[in-house]
Every structure is written in structure tokens, then in C-alpha cells.
Structure 1
Amino acid sequence: MTKQITSVQNAFIKDLFQLKEKSRARKKTGNFLIEGKRELSLAIKGDYTIETVLFYSELISESELKSLIDTPYNIIEISKEVYQKLAHRDTTEGVLAVAKSKQHSLNDIQLSSTNPLILVAEAPEKPGNIGAILRTADAANVDAVIIANPKTDLYNPNIIRSSVGCVFTKPIATGTTTQIITYLKANSIHIYCAALQASVNYHTQDYTKPTAIVVGTEATGLSDEWLTASTQNIIIPMQGEIDSMNVSVAAGILIFETKRQRNFK
């Protein structure tokens, strides 16, 4: 018989609420919350360890849930009150899960291609931008995403939501700028930095060899360490009154130019 939890005062539910709200709790326990059918399916496909699945039967039946996850996980039925406390979205699908986070070490990246394309973002802060970057990475099927000097943990519910689960679909690593530059150079990956200084138009460069596209924040751009290490600084010509655009949009333009040159392989 499926276990049921109906009270928001349940100790387990209180712990899960902390996972939802607090980065500190996620780091301490090594756990995080997943919400939504697609997100859960992508996490399972991405070899995440799922510890518990919770569902609200008014939105998803137990039989539908079991056909979705297709594995005998620990399943708990929860009440409307518990679900509303834990759910991050107003319109959602009645399913939540507790999963184990990954380490995201640079050493753990397995590059499946001999001619890799890597997207690097330095110090992104806004979860929405990070989520959009991860969606771009998935859409372009890049080999890996690397976050330099991260300001937000990857399992922030807003990142999972805005990435529509793409946080689970590609190898992701984090590290300091110095560590990442060392990694890229050790793997003979050319570094193209989106920057205003000493730059050339992005479409003039050849990205058909091993390539890392590096983007910084809209406010401060990339640090000098990146600009020094860069194979070539590149710029997207601007025709309006401002000299920068949203970082996820810029990343999309640069990544898909790279894919175009590679005939979308």
C-alpha cells in the first residue's frame, strides 16, 4: 500500500520545504527537489539517483505516475496542502521527486566528441538566464556546459524550472576561471570570448575545430583572465543604442553560428 502524508507539519515534508527554499539545505544534504513530469523524466534519463517520488492524486493518478517513472521508486501520495507547500509552480502536474545532486567536477566531464563544442558562462547570477543558457545548450546539442565562479547553485528550483529540465540533459561542470582555462588548454580547445575589447565580428572566425564559446554577465562582461587567455575575442555587432544584449541571447547567437559552420553536426 502506498504511503500517504497529509500534514504540512510532517518532519519529512518540512525537510523537503527547506530543500526547495534554501541552497544551504541542498548543499548540506546533497539532495534537491524536482517538479514536473518532463523534468523528472529527463533527470532519470540523465542518470540522476531518485530517492523518493511524491504525487498529488487529483492531478496525476498512481497508475499514470508508475507508467511515467517505470521503476519501483519509493512513492508517497501527498495531500493538496502538502503539494501546494512544496510545489514551485502555480500550474504544474502533480509530481515531485527528491534526487541526489551530482558533483559537477571538471574531471568528471566525458567529452564524447573528438571535436567538442563547449559553452562557458562566467559568474551568471540570474536563475532565469542560467536556465535559458542550458536550454540553448540542449537545443544545440553542445558537448558540455561549464559555469565559472558560480553565484547560484544549479539545483535552485528557478533554474530547473526555467531550463525545463535541461539542467539534466548535458554534462555540466563548475570551477574557477583559472581551473577552467587550464582544463580547456590541456584539452587543446580554442577559446572564443564574447567581449568588447580587442574583438572581431563573431562570424569571421572558424569554429570548426575544438571550441569553447565564453560569455560573461551583461553588467561586467568577462574578467581580464579570460580576455588574456582568449584565442580571439569576438563581438556581435550592435545596431541600436545599447552595447550589450541578454547573455542567454548572445550565447544562442554564437553557439548556433558554430553549429552552422559545422553543418549542424
Structure 2
Amino acid sequence: MKHIESESNASLKQWKKLHSRKEREKTGTFLLEGPHLIEEAIHSGAKLQHVIVEENYQMKDEWLKERFSLWSVPAKLMKQLSETEKPQGILAVCEMMDQPEDLIKPKGRYLLIDGVQDPGNLGTIIRTADSAGLDGVFLGEGTADLYNGKTVRSTQGSLFHLPVVKADLLQIIGQCKEQDIPVLSTSLQEAVDMRRASEVEGFALIVGNEGAGVQETLQKESTMNVKIPIFGQAESLNVSVATGILLYELQRNRS
């Protein structure tokens, strides 16, 4: 184990740069914080380059068998690396996952995310898609960065459990149609009650930006526009809450 004491250490400076999206994309790496996320990464086979622990942190013995560089730092430096108020004493530099191709398969179940800008919402949606047993998630233009620290933490490890791919959503819609997969877009205009949607074996659900919703161009390409009924006086639901309701309703109605 290597020890770092100085703020001017080159490795420390490089890891701190990973708080920036530009540096993450440049290096193809991102930060994982906390033992749960690191354990999920290890179990999924993700590539960890470095693990950094606070002095006297007790690591799990089985982790020591993994192939990564191990570093220790004092509490003051861990606080600089951490993006949370209360650092958990361990973080890792992880390589970004591969972007798989040809994900669309007959009867598959997919989520298309159009311009969801809040990292916490995005992470929660990915976690929900994982819980609902989906086959893949596609991130359209304008969507928050998958590897933003808040996004990663909000997924609670689900980003390692299913493919999450940056994509042109119009192309993905076209591929779904080629496989006879119904494409359902959330909308408040000319939309049917979600509970009236016909039973489907596979589906592609599009959810949209917190304020503007799904782009009209994507709605026009969908098979059907759907909405969640509102029984109270709220105008709308948080996008992550709405996604959860829709995905579980679709799963319940699978023929």
C-alpha cells in the first residue's frame, strides 16, 4: 500500500480532476465512493484501477486479491477527494463500462431517457429500471452524465447490473419498431390512461425532461402516448416516481 501525505501529489491531483465531466470523458474513468458501490463493481467484473482508503480503514480481505493499486491518505485528503459531506473512508477509480451494440432483441424491455437533467433523478431511474428487470437503458442527448458522482451514488450499484448506453433515441425507436416492440411515450397530450394500454410482451418506454417532457419528435415516432392519471391536485409527478409507476404497470400487464 502506498501512502500520500501531500496535497501536491500528482496522483491525488489527477483523481480530484475526475470531479469534472471533461476529465472523466478524457480518461474513460470515474470515481466510486463507499464500500457498497465498490463491492458492486468488483462483483460485476468492472475494472478498478485504484482504491484509496483513509488511514486505518479496514478493507475486506477478499478485496485484497483484486488487481488494483492500493493507496492510503489522511482524513483531510480523503475529504478533498470525496463529493459527499461525510466521506465513507474509501473510494475507487473505475474504468467506464463498454458501450454494447445490438442490444435490441425481440420481446425486449427497454427504457429511453430523453433529456433528464438532474443526476439524482437519472440515478434513481436507472436503479428502478434494474429493479423492474429491464434489458437496457438508453440515454438521449441532454441527459445528465451517467458518471456524475451523484448519478453513480443514486444508482446504488445498478449501473453495473444492466447495460446503460448513450444513444440517438430516434435510431433506437427505429430499431425497436424493426423488432415489433411497441414504443410508448409519456405525454399529457393525446395520451391514453396507462391502465388502458394493451398488454405487451416487450416494450420501449420513453420518459422525458423534468419540465418539458418528451420531445415532440420522439412522441410522433412512438406507437402510443400514455399518461398516469392524477387523482389529487398535483400537476405532475417527479420523473423518477412516474417512471417507477409506469415500468411496474407495464411489467404487471405483460401478456
With normalisation by structure 2, the TM-score equals 0.92
**Residue of structure 2 in register with 1:237 after alignment:** 229
**Residue of structure 1 in register with 2:53 after alignment:** 55
Q: Is the aligned partner of 1:94 residue 2:89?
A: yes
CA deviations 1:49-98 (Å, max 9, x no partner) are 1111111134x21xx34434642421111221221110122334311111
Q: Is the aligned partner of 1:33 residue 2:41?
A: no
Letter in 1 for 2:93: V
**Residue of structure 2 in register with 1:183 after alignment:** 175
Aligned residues with identical type, % of pairs: 30
**1:178 Cα offset (Å):** 1.9
SS of the residue aligned with 1:53? strand
Aligned in 2, Cα 1:141/1:91: closer, same or farther, shift over 3 Å?
farther
With normalisation by structure 1, the TM-score equals 0.89
**1:23 Cα offset (Å):** 0.5
Q: Is the aligned partner of 1:109 residue 2:103?
A: yes
Q: Is the aligned partner of 1:3 residue 2:10?
A: no
Aligned in 2, Cα 1:110/1:218: closer, same or farther, shift over 3 Å?
closer
Aligned in 2, Cα 1:29/1:108: closer, same or farther, shift over 3 Å?
farther
**1:208 Cα offset (Å):** 3.1
Residue pair 1:109, 1:172 contacting (<8 A) in 2 also: no
**Residue of structure 2 in register with 1:80 after alignment:** 75
SS of the residue aligned with 1:214? strand
Letter in 2 for 1:83: M
**1:207 Cα offset (Å):** 4.0
Residue pair 1:7, 1:81 contacting (<8 A) in 2 also: no
**Residue of structure 2 in register with 1:18 after alignment:** 17
Cα distance between partner residues in 2 of 1:45 and 1:87:
23
Cα distance between partner residues in 1 of 2:209 and 2:145:
17
Structure 2 gaps, min length 5: none
Specify which of 220, 228, 242 is matched with residue 228 of structure 1. Answer: 220
Structure 1 gaps, min length 5: none
Letter in 2 for 1:18: K
